[in-house]
Chain A
Amino acid sequence: MARKRGRGMAACWYGIARTATVDRAAAWAEIDDGGSAKIVTGVTEIGEGILTVLAQIAAHEIGVKPEHVVIGDNDTARAPEAAHAGASRQTYMIGNVVALASREARKRLVDVMAGMWDVAAETIRTGNGEIWAENTNHRISMGEAVACAKNRGVVPIGSATFGTDTTAIADGKDGDGSGRPWQAYVFGCQVAEVEVDTVTGEVQVLAVWAAHDVGRAVNPQGVEGQIEGGIVQAIGQGLMEDYQLKDGHASTSGFAKYILPTSLDVPRVNSIIIEDPDPIGPLGVKGIGEPAMVPTIPAVMNAIYDAVGVRVFNLPATPEKILLAMREKARRETMATQAAE
């Protein structure tokens, strides 16, 4: 058989939010006329789907439908500081702070209604665009409730800040690295199945099974999207991408020379979402953007070894490197056989 298959696996861990420093984010929330929600925060979407996640969180906390959440964002002069879009921190930092701000806005509204209905605030429920008091006939729309609050001079708003209990690590000259770099950690494991063409050296990654802890999946489809995209980027680094410089000049300055994974290069990704809730934040969420990439390359390299008995130590595992390694392996085996004879 010119093509040989094999499997490999690898595990990973990762820290969520900014590393070895105090991370923080803020948000404002308002339950608006008509019962929609308005969320304002300083950083959101770079493609990962955080806008939708925030809409779901605000909807969940306030009790409206996700499509009735409006998000104002990403303007240092108009929105509270929420730091940066990176470090797998968006769902953790922004998600949690939007939840807290939403809770405060909801509390303002609930307190008004508790007074009006003469019930304990704890008996009031909200959901799906409605507000009601348990075991009573009191049930109105959120829009009507907002009108009630405004008639009593109350605008139902909330604000919140969310910070991490983290420290620098001792990384000075005689430091030992000790410290508390993150408060939330995630773990994962991936299995890769590959096919190696022993004539061309080409590797196809046919499947990846990816099990990742995300704390709590707000939008499972979005989590899968992060896992699938991360794995394919890792396959790019593992097998083909290579930014090359000669005396400081790039020889791969366009996509004709800088080779990226296309639709024909990607494996079937089978995602398994694990939910081990974060005990510190209000939602239990963690993150997935970066950790999804970490185990893929070693899993693929371990799978290539399983298939053809060569291990690539120097990325990327191009067809040329695979062929050279196979040739070297065959040469060594021949020599060993001859020596034995």
Chain B
Amino acid sequence: MVDVRLNATINGRKVSRDAKPHLRLLDFLRDDLNLTGNKEGCGAGECGTCSVFVDGVLMKSCLMPVAKAQGAQIDTIESLAKSGELSVLQKAFHKAGASQCGYCIPGMVMAATAALRANPFADREEIKERLGGNICRCTGYQKIFDAVELARDVQNGRVPATALLETDTADGEVIGKNVRRIDAPSKVSGRLKYAGDMTMPGMLHVQVLRSPHAHARIVSIDTSAALAIAGVESVITSADVPGKDGFGVFVHDQPIMARGKVRYVGEAIAAVAAEDALTAKRAVAAIKVVYEQLAPVFDPDEAMLQGAPVVHDYAPDNITKHIPIRVGDVEAGFAESDLVIEESYSTQAIEHAYLEPEAGLAYVDHDDVVTVVSPSQNITHHRHMLARIIDKPISKVRFIMSPVGGGFGGKEDMIYQGMLALLAMKAMRPVRLVYTREESIISTAKRHPSRTTLRMGVMRDGRIKALAMRMVCDGGAYGLSTEGVMRKAAILAAGPYNIPNVRIDTYGIYTNNTPSGAFRSFGALQTQFATESQLDIIAERLGLDPFEIRRINAMRDGATTHTKQTLGSVSLMRALDAAEQASGWEAGAPTVRGGTRGDLGHDDVRPSVTLGTRFAATGTQEAAE
């Protein structure tokens, strides 16, 4: 294909360059012009972190072919902080604590800039609507709204510019103050380099071949056609692993590429390093794999049945981990109870959806140290595992944690770093891998989906006498963090309550689904969802206020936990009191009394949203009525 000669004005400077016609504007800006401030989060126009101005209009640059930019004036995040001086809005993001991981922030700053240009007096609700095309996974948006409101008020002269300055610590007291984030200036200006923004001289680009099958034996892998393509430097499969293959947070059951069989759709089978990503993609397509289909198992309860397909030979019952907690005599406790309630609950798999898809670089340095640069949440453990996998002493393995564009547990697994290290060793050149959003979603860990049965026995006065819980979780094809998740889920399952008789069993089960792994709140979310729902069901039956039933059972200072640990200070009662008071809670049993409550709609509640009403209100009022 013939290159496009692109003439445009980019960040105020004339640019005249040849560009590959298949490029998106985002690729051209990031790869050809090294303007990496705007990021790629989804490649589908959904997340907004790639947003730039095209002739002054906010556009998602991942959706725009580069040829469409012919003659246009394009402004990226780099245009806002001229010579390093942050704009008022960027300073407001800094001051308000509006950036966390920072990966969505370049697009968010662009969208907020557009919002205040469109309406310098936009109120909070209008700001929310105008930021509706940008996803942030860290902040919960609240501090972003605060920042835009602060910038608006400074720009309009309603608050002095000094409101943007650093918190005063002249009294020498530093702890307990809202010191501005030290990493925010580089995040709000797009200067911070995430792994996918980094390049090295002579760097190769990596692409991964993934399994189309959930459970299949690999009969053969033929990489010869891939290696024959010009520009392909190296192709690796599990046969290239020099040491003892296997990683995982607890059980090292996952090879860095499928070994002998594939266990889930999306599992890595081979990886290619080539001069450019397109060549690497072509090479991946040229790898021939012969599979022999195996019966899959997708349901954890079915996987526990006798005769179910076995995912890992070492676990013939497909149980990754079972955690028991036993206190007292639970059946006697139920027999003594005035009321016994049993319910079932389930929670679904969810995706971390950190805005930064997985990315990493690897190289072998001048001291023969195999070095991996990636947004890993656990470089310590990763280097131990990689040393064993590549059969090198730990001093010859180095992990550098690049800025993490959101983790939430999802970047604790060494899911791709092994492939990078192996390719760097084989090619003896730097290599880089950047996942697409789709790769990230299908091949990395999810939150464990759960099925829970919960039985609770209580006395008429609200005291819990017995609790029995059984939770079965789909751990997917590999162990990752399943063992730890089951443990934390079980330990915390019964909630912060004194219960004399407890029986808890959590099971993590292998299936041929996407692996489940670490996810913020690590099992405790699943079990406490059940317990806290059930407490309200019981409170209604007993005519008790929800706070009251919790107070009756609350652990106090010196309590003994369900794992028989003696606690010191227990702040639960303080937390109950504080939430009750702050919300102005109207006491009463939870008997569907929403229609008669007197505590709704306080000043610290946001208005409800009806999409489109804003436009009706300012435009055709009659039509809306």
Query: Which 5 pairs of residues, A with B, have the shortest CB-CB distance?
Result: A47-B101, A6-B594, A248-B214, A298-B532, A228-B140
Whether the Cβ atoms of A195 and B608 lie closer than 8 Å is: yes
- Return the contact of B579 from the options A6, A69, A73, A209 (Cβ within 8 A): A209
Which of A134-142, A156-164, A186-194 interfaces with chain B?
A186-194
Q: Which residues of chain A are near B528, meaning CB under 8 Å?
A: 10, 12, 294-295, 298
CA distance A187 to B573 in the complex (A): 9
CA distance A291 to B525 in the complex (A): 9
Taking CB atoms and an 8 Å cut-off, the chain B residues in 128-143 that contact chain A are 128-129, 131-135, 137-143
Q: Give the Cβ gap from B606 to chain A, nearest Cβ, in Å.
A: 4
Asked if B600 is an interface residue, CB under 8 A from chain A, the answer is yes
Whether the Cβ atoms of B438 and A225 lie closer than 8 Å is: no
CA distance A67 to B611 in the complex (A): 44
Taking CB atoms and an 8 Å cut-off, the chain A residues in 185-207 that contact chain B are 185-191, 193, 195, 204, 206-207
Report B162-200 CB contacts with A as 1/0, cut-off 8 Å. 000010011111111111111100000000000000000
Whether the Cβ atoms of B590 and A42 lie closer than 8 Å is: no
Q: Which residues of chain B are near A301, meaning CB under 8 Å?
A: 529, 533
Whether the Cβ atoms of A128 and B170 lie closer than 8 Å is: yes
Taking CB atoms and an 8 Å cut-off, the chain B residues in 366-397 that contact chain A are 369, 371, 375, 377-381, 383, 395, 397
* A-B CB pair tally, cutoff 8 Å: 489
Q: Which residues of chain A are near B144, meaning CB under 8 Å?
A: 263
Q: Give the Cβ gap from B320 to chain A, nearest Cβ, in Å.
A: 13
Asked if A309 is an interface residue, CB under 8 A from chain B, the answer is yes
Report A1-32 CB contacts with B as 1/0, cut-off 8 Å. 00111111111111100011000000000000
Q: Give the Cβ gap from B401 to chain A, nearest Cβ, in Å.
A: 4
Whether the Cβ atoms of B380 and A84 lie closer than 8 Å is: yes
Taking CB atoms and an 8 Å cut-off, the chain A residues in 246-285 that contact chain B are 247-250, 252-256, 258, 260, 262-264, 266-270, 272, 274, 276, 279, 283
Whether the Cβ atoms of B265 and A248 lie closer than 8 Å is: yes
Whether the Cβ atoms of B605 and A191 lie closer than 8 Å is: no
CA distance A49 to B437 in the complex (A): 25
**A66-B182, A268-B605, A293-B525 given. 8 additional CB < 8 A pairs?**
A7-B597, A12-B524, A75-B400, A177-B504, A178-B563, A185-B567, A211-B575, A305-B590
Whether the Cβ atoms of A243 and B446 lie closer than 8 Å is: yes
Q: Which residue of A lies closest to B352 (CB)?
A: A233
Asked if B624 is an interface residue, CB under 8 A from chain A, the answer is no
CA distance A84 to B383 in the complex (A): 12
29 residue pairs A–B, Cβ–Cβ below 8 Å:
A5-B601, A7-B599, A11-B575, A12-B532, A13-B492, A13-B496, A13-B555, A45-B403, A49-B181, A56-B177, A63-B172, A73-B401, A76-B379, A84-B380, A85-B401, A180-B565, A187-B571, A189-B578, A213-B574, A225-B97, A228-B139, A228-B143, A233-B520, A266-B141, A268-B605, A290-B524, A291-B521, A293-B525, A294-B525
Q: Which residues of chain B are near A49, meaning CB under 8 Å?
A: 97, 100, 181
Which of A104-112, A114-122, A311-319 interfaces with chain B?
A311-319
Whether the Cβ atoms of A263 and B131 lie closer than 8 Å is: yes
- Return the contact of A313 from the options B325, B533, B576, B594 (Cβ within 8 A): B533
Asked if B349 is an interface residue, CB under 8 A from chain A, the answer is yes
Residue picked from A44, A86, A185, most chain B C-beta under 10 Å:
A86
Whether the Cβ atoms of A260 and B441 lie closer than 8 Å is: no
- Return the contact of B582 from the options A14, A250, A270 (Cβ within 8 A): A270
Asked if B623 is an interface residue, CB under 8 A from chain A, the answer is no
CA distance A228 to B146 in the complex (A): 12
Whether the Cβ atoms of A176 and B326 lie closer than 8 Å is: yes
Whether the Cβ atoms of A254 and B44 lie closer than 8 Å is: yes
CA distance A128 to B173 in the complex (A): 8
CA distance A77 to B392 in the complex (A): 14
Whether the Cβ atoms of A207 and B606 lie closer than 8 Å is: yes
CA distance A233 to B410 in the complex (A): 14
Taking CB atoms and an 8 Å cut-off, the chain A residues in 74-130 that contact chain B are 74-77, 81-87, 127-128
Whether the Cβ atoms of A5 and B594 lie closer than 8 Å is: yes
Instruction: Show the binding face of A for B, using Cβ within 8 Å.
Output: 3-15, 19-20, 42-49, 51-52, 55-57, 59-60, 63, 65-67, 69, 71, 73-77, 81-87, 127-128, 169, 171, 175-181, 185-191, 193, 195, 204, 206-207, 209-213, 216-222, 224-225, 227-234, 236-237, 241-245, 247-250, 252-256, 258, 260, 262-264, 266-270, 272, 274, 276, 279, 283, 289-291, 293-295, 297-299, 301-303, 305-309, 311, 313-316
Q: Give the Cβ gap from A239 to chain B, nearest Cβ, in Å.
A: 11
CA distance A313 to B607 in the complex (A): 27
Asked if B57 is an interface residue, CB under 8 A from chain A, the answer is no
Q: Give the Cβ gap from A262 to chain B, nearest Cβ, in Å.
A: 5
Q: Which residues of chain B are near A248, meaning CB under 8 Å?
A: 213-215, 264-265, 296, 298, 512-514
Q: Which residues of chain B are near A250, meaning CB under 8 Å?
A: 265-266, 441-442, 514
CA distance A51 to B595 in the complex (A): 47
Asked if B68 is an interface residue, CB under 8 A from chain A, the answer is no
Whether the Cβ atoms of B533 and A311 lie closer than 8 Å is: yes
Report B388-430 CB contacts with A as 1/0, cut-off 8 Å. 0000000101111101111111011000000000000000000
Taking CB atoms and an 8 Å cut-off, the chain B residues in 542-572 that contact chain A are 546-547, 550, 554-555, 562-565, 567-572
Whether the Cβ atoms of A57 and B175 lie closer than 8 Å is: yes
Whether the Cβ atoms of A254 and B378 lie closer than 8 Å is: no
Q: Which residues of chain A are near B180, meaning CB under 8 Å?
A: 52
CA distance A274 to B576 in the complex (A): 11
Report B497-520 CB contacts with A as 1/0, cut-off 8 Å. 000000010000000111000101
Whether the Cβ atoms of A220 and B574 lie closer than 8 Å is: no
CA distance A256 to B437 in the complex (A): 11
- Return the contact of A237 from the options B348, B491, B571, B579 (Cβ within 8 A): B348
Q: Which residue of B lies closest to A195 (CB)?
A: B608
Asked if B327 is an interface residue, CB under 8 A from chain A, the answer is yes
Taking CB atoms and an 8 Å cut-off, the chain B residues in 342-373 that contact chain A are 343-351, 353, 369, 371
Which of B77-85, B253-261, B273-281, B482-490 interfaces with chain A?
B482-490
Whether the Cβ atoms of B346 and A187 lie closer than 8 Å is: no
Taking CB atoms and an 8 Å cut-off, the chain B residues in 290-305 that contact chain A are 296, 298
Residue picked from B398, B513, B525, B582, most chain A C-beta under 10 Å:
B525
Asked if B447 is an interface residue, CB under 8 A from chain A, the answer is yes
Whether the Cβ atoms of B592 and A306 lie closer than 8 Å is: yes
Whether the Cβ atoms of A306 and B379 lie closer than 8 Å is: no
Q: Give the Cβ gap from B293 to chain A, nearest Cβ, in Å.
A: 12
CA distance A67 to B182 in the complex (A): 8
Whether the Cβ atoms of B132 and A262 lie closer than 8 Å is: yes
Q: Give the Cβ gap from B298 to chain A, nearest Cβ, in Å.
A: 6
Whether the Cβ atoms of B441 and A219 lie closer than 8 Å is: no
CA distance A193 to B601 in the complex (A): 8
Whether the Cβ atoms of B348 and A175 lie closer than 8 Å is: no
Q: Which residues of chain A are near B597, meaning CB under 8 Å?
A: 5-7, 306
Q: Which residue of B lies closest to A196 (CB)?
A: B594
Whether the Cβ atoms of A204 and B609 lie closer than 8 Å is: yes
Q: Give the Cβ gap from A310 to chain B, nearest Cβ, in Å.
A: 9
Taking CB atoms and an 8 Å cut-off, the chain B residues in 577-600 that contact chain A are 578-580, 582-583, 585, 590, 592-595, 597, 599-600
Given contacts A49-B181, A181-B565, A237-B348, contact A315 B488 (CB under 8 A): no
Whether the Cβ atoms of B579 and A85 lie closer than 8 Å is: no
Q: Which residue of B lies closest to A192 (CB)?
A: B583
Q: Give the Cβ gap from A227 to chain B, nearest Cβ, in Å.
A: 8
Q: Which residues of chain A are near B348, meaning CB under 8 Å?
A: 237, 241-243, 315-316
- Return the contact of A216 from the options B175, B181, B323, B408 (Cβ within 8 A): B175
Whether the Cβ atoms of B346 and A313 lie closer than 8 Å is: yes
Q: Which residue of B lies closest to A289 (CB)?
A: B520
Q: Which residues of chain B are near A5, meaning CB under 8 Å?
A: 594, 597, 600-601
Q: Give the Cβ gap from A163 to chain B, nearest Cβ, in Å.
A: 14
Whether the Cβ atoms of A243 and B349 lie closer than 8 Å is: yes
Whether the Cβ atoms of B605 and A193 lie closer than 8 Å is: yes
Whether the Cβ atoms of A221 and B178 lie closer than 8 Å is: yes
CA distance A66 to B172 in the complex (A): 10
Asked if B47 is an interface residue, CB under 8 A from chain A, the answer is yes
Whether the Cβ atoms of A74 and B400 lie closer than 8 Å is: yes
Residue picked from A46, A47, A222, most chain B C-beta under 10 Å:
A47
